[in-house]
């Protein structure tokens, strides 16, 4: 039987109220006070305040964000690669020959250490097989279903809970100040579109990623788009500004990344006339997330990139020192606040 407990209700009410007030006063509550946080706030103030010398018209306010390693966890391997591995295991009963064929054999054996050393060609092969000949709709539904049960091997949480709370706050902060937000990722475009609206509140038409070819066909008399095991374009390194031009048609004003694969995108945003903003997330927190940079095959942050960042005055965020929390707290403040 339910018993009314007014003292618990009042505690809950005032805790939630305090959280909401704090959020209203501070647009980036998960960030420690410091250079990185202040740079973000000052940029927004400078580019959105009428009469400011750095004011940017709403039509030109475009911000682009890498995803893997910038918005959510990318270690020990990319999330989409985990999805592809699970798909290979699911499909294995129809392909008994895979038990003796590489790279399928290693995938079926589940040796993550060996999988981490796959060549880019082996990774592309596994990912391509995971979606080949599915309709775009079937692929989207398969990804969404997988995300409801898939758990990160080390952090023991669903992947959609391993998004970076501080970066979600940045996205919201830019959005409420009139910036149009795009995700520009080396990950699969259709893969990210399957969850971007729910996880980031970014609609699928604002997702730019590595894309596979599709073919228009009829199934049971109905028109469908079939995903082919062929790459249309790779959205990484110089491919990022090229894809931005293809899909957006404007240079972004702000760009956010975390690795060598994002350098050209940040350079491209800085080439814009007037005020611009560039930020790199540096993974230096082995306790709460991961620590990696130069030697990692996933999300490589080279010495050359660090030197470029210093030379061009890009903000380099320390996960360890700049972020109070990394992942969203269990209490969903966003949902509580009006």
Alpha helices by DSSP H, listed for the chain, are 6-25, 35-48, 79-91, 104-109, 112-115, 120-131, 136-147, 165-176, 189-193, 196-200, 239-247, 263-270, 303-311, 319-322, 333-336
Per the listing, tokens 């293809």 go with 246
- What was the pLDDT predicted at 113? 87
Q: Which long-range contacts (CB under 8 A, 24 or more apart) does 239-248 make?
A: 239/210, 240/64, 240/184, 240/264, 240/265, 240/268, 241/265, 241/267, 241/268, 243/184, 243/208, 244/64, 244/182, 244/184, 244/208, 244/268, 247/182, 247/208, 248/62, 248/182, 248/208
How far does Cα 21 stand from its chain's mean position? Answer: 28
> Helix 79-91 vs helix 120-131: angle between axes, to the nearest 10 degrees?
60
> Is 230 in contact with 212 (CB distance < 8 Å)?
yes
Measured CA to CA in angstroms, residue 28 lies from 4, 116, 151, 166, 336 at distances of 36, 35, 28, 7, 17
Spatial distance between the Cα atoms of 165 and 157, rounded to a whole number of angstroms: 15
Per the listing, tokens 């290979």 go with 88
- What was the pLDDT predicted at 245? 97
- What was the pLDDT predicted at 105? 94
Spatial distance between the Cα atoms of 179 and 20, rounded to a whole number of angstroms: 23
Question: Which DSSP category does 72 fall into?
Answer: B
Beta bridge partners of 31: 323
Token code pair at residue 134: 């599915």
Q: How many residues belong to the chain?
A: 338
- What was the pLDDT predicted at 24? 57
Q: How many CA atoms lie within 13 A of 112 on its CB side?
A: 10
- What was the pLDDT predicted at 5? 43
Peptide bond just before 291 cis, omega within 30 deg: no
Q: Does this model's pTM top 0.95?
A: no
- How confident is the prediction along the chain (338 residues), in pLDDT tens digits per residue? 434 344 433 334 444 444 444 445 899 999 999 999 999 999 999 999 999 999 999 999 999 999 999 999 999 999 999 999 999 999 999 999 999 999 999 999 988 889 988 988 888 899 999 999 999 999 999 999 999 999 999 999 999 999 999 999 999 999 999 999 999 999 999 999 999 999 999 999 999 999 999 999 999 999 999 999 999 999 999 999 999 999 999 999 999 999 999 999 999 999 766 799 999 999 999 999 999 999 999 999 999 999 999 999 999 999 999 999 999 986 444 433 43
> Is 109 in contact with 99 (CB distance < 8 Å)?
no
Q: In which order are the strands placed within the sheet that holds 207-219? A: 222-233, 207-219, 180-188, 62-65, 254-257, 277-282, 315-318
How far does Cα 282 stand from its chain's mean position? Answer: 14
Provide the CATH topology of domain 30-75+162-336: Rossmann fold (3.40.50)
Spatial distance between the Cα atoms of 87 and 138, rounded to a whole number of angstroms: 13
Instruction: With CA atoms as reference, report the closest residue to 323 among 172, 170, 166.
Output: 166
Question: Which DSSP category does 191 fall into?
Answer: H
- What was the pLDDT predicted at 272? 64
């Amino acid at each position: 039987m339910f018993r009314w407990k007014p003292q618990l209700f009042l505690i809950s009410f005032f805790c939630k109220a305090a959280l909401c007030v704090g959020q209203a006063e501070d647009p980036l509550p998960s960030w420690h006070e410091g250079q990185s946080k202040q740079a973000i706030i000052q940029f927004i103030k400078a580019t959105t305040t009428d009469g400011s010398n750095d004011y940017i018209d709403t039509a030109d306010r475009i911000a682009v964000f890498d995803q893997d390693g910038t918005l959510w966890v990318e270690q020990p391997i990319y999330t989409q690669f985990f999805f592809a591995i699970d798909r290979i295991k699911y499909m294995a009963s129809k392909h008994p020959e895979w038990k003796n064929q590489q790279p399928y054999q290693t995938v079926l054996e589940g040796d993550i250490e060996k999988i981490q050393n796959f060549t880019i060609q082996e990774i592309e092969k596994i990912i391509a097989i995971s979606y080949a000949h599915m309709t775009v709709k079937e692929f989207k539904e398969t990804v969404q279903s997988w995300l409801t049960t898939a758990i990160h091997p080390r952090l023991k949480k669903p992947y959609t809970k391993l998004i970076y709370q501080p970066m979600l706050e940045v996205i919201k902060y830019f959005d409420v100040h009139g910036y149009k937000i795009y995700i520009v990722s080396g990950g699969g475009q259709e893969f990210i579109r399957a969850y971007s609206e729910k996880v980031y509140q970014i609609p699928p038409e604002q997702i730019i990623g590595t894309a596979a070819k599709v073919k228009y066909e009829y199934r049971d008399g109905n028109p469908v788009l079939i995903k082919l095991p062929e790459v249309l374009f790779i959205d990484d390194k110089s491919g990022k500004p090229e894809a931005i031009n293809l899909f957006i048609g404007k240079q972004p004003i702000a760009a956010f990344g975390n690795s060598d694969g994002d350098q050209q995108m940040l350079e491209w945003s800085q080439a814009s006339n007037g005020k611009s903003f560039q930020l790199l997330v540096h993974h230096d927190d082995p306790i709460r997330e991961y620590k990696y940079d130069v030697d990692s095959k996933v999300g490589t942050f080279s010495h050359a990139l660090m030197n470029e960042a210093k030379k061009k005055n890009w903000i380099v965020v320390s996960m360890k020192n700049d972020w109070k929390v990394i992942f969203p707290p269990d209490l969903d403040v966003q949902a509580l606040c009006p």
